[in-house]
Amino acid sequence: MANKTHIHAQWSSRLAFMMAAVGSSVGLGNVWKFPYMTGESGGGAFVLIYMVSIALIGLPILMSEWLLGRLGQKNPITTMSTIAGRLKRSQAWALIGVGGILAAYLILSFYSVIGGWALAYIKYSVTGTFSGLDGDGVSSLFGNLLGSPGRLLAWHSLFMVLTIGVVAGGVSGGLERAAKLLMPALAVLLVVLVGYAATTGSFADGLAYLFRPDFSQLTGDVWLAALGHAFFTLSLGMGIMMAYGSYLSDDVNIGRTALTVVILDTVIALAAGMAIFPVVFANQLDPAAGPGLVFQTLPLAFGGMSGGILFGSLFFILLVFAALTSAISLLEPIVEWLEEQSPLSRLQATLVAGAATWLLGIATVLSFNDWSGFQPFGMSILDLLDYLTSKLMLPLTGLATILFVGWVMGRDEVRAQLNMSPTAFAVWRFTARFVSPIGVAIVFIFGLIN
Ligand code: PFF
């Protein structure tokens, strides 16, 4: 096993680390999932709870994962068992890492199917399919894609092959360096889209929908959905950020870096919402259309604007790119784990993990067509996988992580890692010990019994 011990190089620069972290966090979660969840949850109240969850729960947990990773210097399972061992605590804390790998597997299986939709939409935009489409046109375009298991499977397979190729080829670093250019380009295109949304005549309605909370919409499930999405969008509760933290050099200020990642991630999600909802209202579409929302609204925008073919193609290319940087961060920990648990080489482990994920993804592919009648617990397979991961597993592992840092680790050890002013640290520690865990616990319990 000695040859498999990772000797960690540290990130060449703070920027390289940031790109990996931003690459993992910014993805389909921001552009696809956030808008459709907002629409399904009735708008502003969800957005408000989501932002509160990001600030009071997501940010402290992101910092906790990074500081644990930097202390442990290994993969999440070994990191947790080493630190727990040193503190003479139960090895059960290593379950945080195990749960994370399982969640990453489940998430990647459907993430790849949606990444496949984005690939299909590159083709549609390049070939000018969106020009002149009305609301019915975009719905039937999307409906036709979902109705065809063969095409969905082909796009899902292509997305998975790309992901496997990047991980197996060991070029994730290159991809992350490219993120330095491509992420800002995605942000610029979102601004263009928000600009277009401002011309639709329904901009004010869109903004009001996003930012004027209607508290009558706040059910326990909406709270849980908002909390779960805070974990999903920041890639928390999977040990991924913990693994990244192991590459973090000692002079990086964890608090400031985490705040930057959280702000970028949130701004991109809000921009996507601001681009989408005005188009929804201008075309009398249903904000609660579900997972197809983005794919049924943005084509209307591209179809209606000048230069739409160019902007549309660029947009979906950049979306696929953002999805890929997230997907590789989901596949990596599975591969690493498999490599350590088995005699497989890195390449073999990547192929096995990728194939297993691809296989599970077929269930999501079929759930939109041949298996659409199969609704375990009254949910589609996509909703079920999302429920299991975002609403159950991620909050639980996140809770365990923050309890570990807040209550098991010593104050001074945490403080040395965070390197904050005494007041800032006191606020942080209070949040980590009380606000975040109690918040997760309450939302979790009320969300489940609701
Ligand atoms: N954070 C990614 C997104 O918002 O698209 C998705 C994701 C990546 C979730 C990595 C979880 C993860 F570990």
Take atom 7 of ligand 1 and give the residue whose Cα is closest: 235
Take atom 10 of ligand 1 and give the residue whose Cα is closest: 235
Domains and CATH numbers, the chain: 5-449 (1.10.4160)
- Residues in contact with 430: Cβ distance below 8 Å, sequence separation at least 6, in sequence order: none
Could you tell me if the CB of 397 is within 6 A of ligand 1? no
Q: What is the pLDDT of residues 411-437, one digit of tens each?
A: 999 999 998 999 999 999 999 999 999
What pLDDT sits at residue 181?
Answer: 86
Tokens of 205: 């309605």
| CA distances, 229 to each of 40, 265, 266, 306, 386 (Å) | 13, 12, 11, 34, 10
DSSP-assigned letter for residue 298: H
DSSP-assigned letter for residue 342: S
Could you tell me if the CB of 232 is within 6 A of ligand 1? yes
Could you tell me if the CB of 390 is within 6 A of ligand 1? no
Could you tell me if the CB of 27 is within 6 A of ligand 1? yes
Could you tell me if the CB of 367 is within 6 A of ligand 1? no
Take atom 11 of ligand 1 and give the residue whose Cα is closest: 235
Could you tell me if the CB of 58 is within 6 A of ligand 1? no
Q: What percent of the chain has pLDDT over 90?
A: 81
Stretch 251-274: mean pLDDT, rounded?
95
Closest CA to 399 of 133, 22, 165, 60: 60
Could you tell me if the CB of 37 is within 6 A of ligand 1? no
Spatial distance between the Cα atoms of 155 and 145, rounded to a whole number of angstroms? 10
284 HSE (CA, 13 A, CB side): 2
What pLDDT sits at residue 321?
Answer: 95
Spatial distance between the Cα atoms of 80 and 78, rounded to a whole number of angstroms? 6
Take atom 13 of ligand 1 and give the residue whose Cα is closest: 235
Spatial distance between the Cα atoms of 290 and 35, rounded to a whole number of angstroms? 9
Tokens of 372: 């659409």
Mutate to test the pocket of ligand 1, among 25, 244, 385 (most ligand atoms within 8 A of CB): 25
Could you tell me if the CB of 60 is within 6 A of ligand 1? no
Which residue pairs, CB below 8 angstroms and at least 24 apart, start in 341-348? 346/168, 346/170, 347/168
102 HSE (CA, 13 A, CB side): 13
What pLDDT sits at residue 19?
Answer: 86
Could you tell me if the CB of 231 is within 6 A of ligand 1? no
- Would you say 35 and 293 are in contact if contact means Cβ atoms under 8 Å apart? yes
pLDDT at 153 over 60: yes
What pLDDT sits at residue 12?
Answer: 60
Ligand 1 centroid to Cα of residue 324, in Å, is: 10
SS3 of 73-94: the string is CCCHHHHHHHHHHHCCCCHHHH
What pLDDT sits at residue 10?
Answer: 58
Q: What is the pLDDT of residues 371-386, one digit of tens each?
A: 999 999 999 999 999 9
Could you tell me if the CB of 112 is within 6 A of ligand 1? no
Could you tell me if the CB of 295 is within 6 A of ligand 1? no
Residue type, 58: G
- Would you say 197 and 206 are in contact if contact means Cβ atoms under 8 Å apart? yes
Ligand 1 centroid to Cα of residue 299, in Å, is: 24
DSSP 410-437: -HHHHHHHH---HHHHHHHHHIIIIIHH
Could you tell me if the CB of 32 is within 6 A of ligand 1? no
Take atom 9 of ligand 1 and give the residue whose Cα is closest: 235
Spatial distance between the Cα atoms of 234 and 63, rounded to a whole number of angstroms? 11
- Residues in contact with 169: Cβ distance below 8 Å, sequence separation at least 6, in sequence order: none
Could you tell me if the CB of 238 is within 6 A of ligand 1? yes
Q: What is the pLDDT of residues 32-88, one digit of tens each?
A: 999 999 999 999 999 999 999 999 999 999 999 999 999 998 888 989 999 999 999
Spatial distance between the Cα atoms of 5 and 402, rounded to a whole number of angstroms? 27
202 HSE (CA, 13 A, CB side): 16
Mutate to test the pocket of ligand 1, among 329, 390, 394 (most ligand atoms within 8 A of CB): 329
Mutate to test the pocket of ligand 1, among 232, 234, 265 (most ligand atoms within 8 A of CB): 232
Q: Which atom of ligand 1 is nearest to the CA of 237?
A: 13
Q: Which atom of ligand 1 is nearest to the CA of 240?
A: 13
Tokens of 206: 């869109």
Integer Rg of the chain from CA: 21
| CA distances, 35 to each of 30, 192, 283, 292 (Å) | 8, 17, 16, 10
| pLDDT, the chain, mean | 92
Collapsing DSSP to helix, strand or coil, 202 comes out as coil
What pLDDT sits at residue 9?
Answer: 57
Could you tell me if the CB of 242 is within 6 A of ligand 1? no
What's the distance, Cα to Cα, between the start and end of the chain in Å?
48
Tokens of 181: 């250019």
Closest CA to 319 of 298, 288, 303: 298
Confidence of residue 5 (pLDDT cuts 50, 70, 90): very low
Q: What is the pLDDT of residues 382-407, one digit of tens each?
A: 999 999 999 999 999 999 999 999 99
Stretch 222-239: mean pLDDT, rounded?
95
Spatial distance between the Cα atoms of 307 and 310, rounded to a whole number of angstroms? 5
Largest CA distance in the chain: 66
CA 11 to chain centre: 22
DSSP-assigned letter for residue 9: P
Tally helices (H) and strands (E) across the chain.
22, 0
What pLDDT sits at residue 388?
Answer: 95
pLDDT at 3 over 70: no
What pLDDT sits at residue 320?
Answer: 97
What pLDDT sits at residue 317?
Answer: 96
Spatial distance between the Cα atoms of 121 and 152, rounded to a whole number of angstroms? 12
What pLDDT sits at residue 336?
Answer: 87
- Residues in contact with 311: Cβ distance below 8 Å, sequence separation at least 6, in sequence order: 189, 192, 193, 302, 305
Q: What is the pLDDT of residues 106-129, one digit of tens each?
A: 999 999 999 999 999 999 999 999
Confidence of residue 365 (pLDDT cuts 50, 70, 90): very high
